[in-house]
Structure 1
Amino acid sequence: MTDHKLTLAMSESDRTLKLLTGARSIPGFAIDVQQESIEDIFVKQISQSAYDVSELSLASYLIARGGGDARLTAIPVFLSRSFRHNAIYVRSDSPWQHPSELKGRRFGFPEYQMTAAVWVRGMFRDEWGISNEDMQWFTFRPERVPVEIPATLTEGDIFEALAEGKVDAIMTARRPPAHLFPASGEGGVLRRLIPNVWEAEREYYGRTGIFPIMHLVSVKAQTAERYPELPKQLYQTMLDIKDEGIAGMLETIKNYTSAPFIWESVESSAKLMDGDLWPYGIKRNRAQIEKFITYLQADGLLHRSLSLEELFHDSVLDT
């Protein structure tokens, strides 16, 4: 019997590499891996449904579904999660040390609707007492899904704009270039806004239980209709790969990464997160996805509430 061909596009990580390299497979399917940047993957999938399976921005997926676009479905495999306190930068000569001090300032995002930006604006409101109307927003690339936004689209590079004083602070998922922000995080033109940022992120998690989801896995709706067993198979395969990746980081016969203190980091994370460092599935993530939906609504990017039952494929609703 000939395997069914699936086009697949994802970034490389310990959560995806075995699938991308063919070390793990999905029975009955031949995977055709598409090599693209993560930004290109997002644009092609949300605008064209270009892949049978792809990594996708949580915000873009929800905005599209809220607007009635049902070309994609999803499984609760969250390939990117990140606390974004550490992604807020200012100039090193800036006087500010806390987000609450940025009220009324010029704040830049790569894109207004990007998931990280939605989380950060939600934290400005919930954590730091600053409303959307209190800030001057700037963006540096066109919006992936056409939406009206209260931000000024600006030409040029977001990092250089901050360095040159064209904006007062930025949030960016990508680390600034080394000539502006050295590997040590100190002594460059730019610095992180929050001095004790790693402690701030742990405190945030301990108080809220939120480890912010950035990306999920989308499946073309036509593909899921043709192969209704695929979403659950894919979920289980990717869950196994993720769990194996975490186990690999804990193996002390060799260092799984090039980070010297990785075992200390993984063990302290396991202690803080009750053993589940990177939860997949709906049950463990329902509350924060529902909160994120309210953030999208507060931003004016989503004009109706969404239930998780309409967002995820029927076969994975019990996960």
Structure 2
Amino acid sequence: MTENKLTIAMSESDRTLKLLTGAKRIPGFDLEVKQESIEDIFVNQISRAVYDVSELSLASYLIAKGGGDTRLTAIPVFLSRSFRHNAIYVRSDSPYKHPSELKGRRFGFPEFQMTAAVWVRGMFRHEWGIGNEDIQWFTFRPERVPVDIPAVLTEGDIFEALAEGKVDAIMSARRPPAKLFAASGEGGVLRRLIPDVWDVEREYYGRTGIFPIMHLVSMKEETSTRHPELPRQLYELMQEIKNEGIGGLLETIKNNTSNPFVWESVEQSMELMNGDIWPYGTDKNWGQIRQFITYLQEDGLLKRDLSLEEVFHASVLDT
């Protein structure tokens, strides 16, 4: 029997590796894995829908949906989640130690519409009392979905711009280079804005229940129409892979990572998050996606509300 071929593009993690290497298979399908950077995957998928299945920025997907783009659908598999308080940086000699002190300052993002940037601006407004109009915004690469933004597109490297004092603070999902930011997080040219940031992030989760979603799994609408069983199959398989990955983190006969304190960290996360540290599905995640849609609207990046049925494929609405 000839298998159906699917192109797939995702970053490697314990949530994807078994799928990308063929250790776990979707019955009836043969995967052609595309090896590209996550930034290139996003641009290729949102601009030209080139992959049958791909990881994709939550923000770009929702912005495109809101603009009437029907080429893609999605399943509630969230390959990247991250608290972004720790991703805000200043120079080590900066006087600022809290986001509320940045009113009137110059703040840089790699891209205005990137999901992490939308979360951070939402926190500026709702957590720290600073509106979009209270900060001078700068970006360092073109927007992947054409949108009107209140930011100045700037040439050069975002980390060098901060080190040279061209901006007062930045948010970057990527860690600054080692020459500017030490492996210990202390003693470099740059430092995190918030000194006790890990405690701040735990407090934020305890108060809001939000573990911010960054990326979901997109699928060509034509692929899901041709194979209507595929979205649910893929959802269930990726849920299985994710659960096995978490089980591996807890296995003490050997450490699956190079972090000597990983078991302590995972157990603390389990206690804080009531045993579900990386939830998939609509039931546990639609509330925060609705909050994120509100943030997009406040940013002027989304002109209307989106329903659950518009965002996710019909076969996974009950997950």
TM range (shorter): over 0.9
Deviation at residue 285 of structure 1 after TM alignment: 0.3
In structure 2, what is the equivalent of residue 84 of structure 1? 84
Q: Distance in 2 between matches of 1:38 and 1:285?
A: 23
In structure 2, what is the equivalent of residue 287 of structure 1? 287
Residue type of the alignment partner of 1:16: T
In structure 2, what is the equivalent of residue 236 of structure 1? 236
Give deviations 1:208-227, integer Å, cap 9, x for gaps: 00000000000000000000
Residue type of the alignment partner of 2:16: T
Secondary structure in 2 matching 1:162: helix
Residue type of the alignment partner of 1:25: R
In structure 2, what is the equivalent of residue 222 of structure 1? 222
* Count of residue pairs the alignment pairs up: 319
- Normalising by structure 1, report the TM-score: 1.00
Deviation at residue 308 of structure 1 after TM alignment: 1.4
Deviation at residue 309 of structure 1 after TM alignment: 1.4
Q: Distance in 1 between matches of 2:135 and 2:172?
A: 17
Residue type of the alignment partner of 2:30: A
Secondary structure in 2 matching 1:70: coil
In structure 2, what is the equivalent of residue 151 of structure 1? 151
RMSD: 0.3
Q: Distance in 2 between matches of 1:52 and 1:182?
A: 39
Residue type of the alignment partner of 1:236: E
Which segments of 5 or more consecutive residues in structure 2 lack a partner in the other structure?
A: none
State the 4+ residue runs in structure 1 displaced beyond 3 angstroms: none
Q: Distance in 2 between matches of 1:75 and 1:158?
A: 33
**What is the percent sequence identity of the aligned residues?**
80
Residue type of the alignment partner of 1:250: L
In structure 2, what is the equivalent of residue 110 of structure 1? 110
Q: How does 1:96-175 map to 2 (within 5 A)?
A: 96-175=96-175
Residue type of the alignment partner of 1:114: M
Give deviations 1:53-79, integer Å, cap 9, x for gaps: 000000000000000000000000000
Q: How does 1:1-319 map to 2 (within 5 A)?
A: 1-319=1-319
Secondary structure in 2 matching 1:239: helix
Secondary structure in 1 matching 2:23: coil
Deviation at residue 301 of structure 1 after TM alignment: 0.1
Secondary structure in 1 matching 2:232: helix
Give deviations 1:33-72, integer Å, cap 9, x for gaps: 0000000000000000000000000000000000000000
- Normalising by structure 2, report the TM-score: 1.00
Deviation at residue 296 of structure 1 after TM alignment: 0.1
Residue type of the alignment partner of 2:125: R
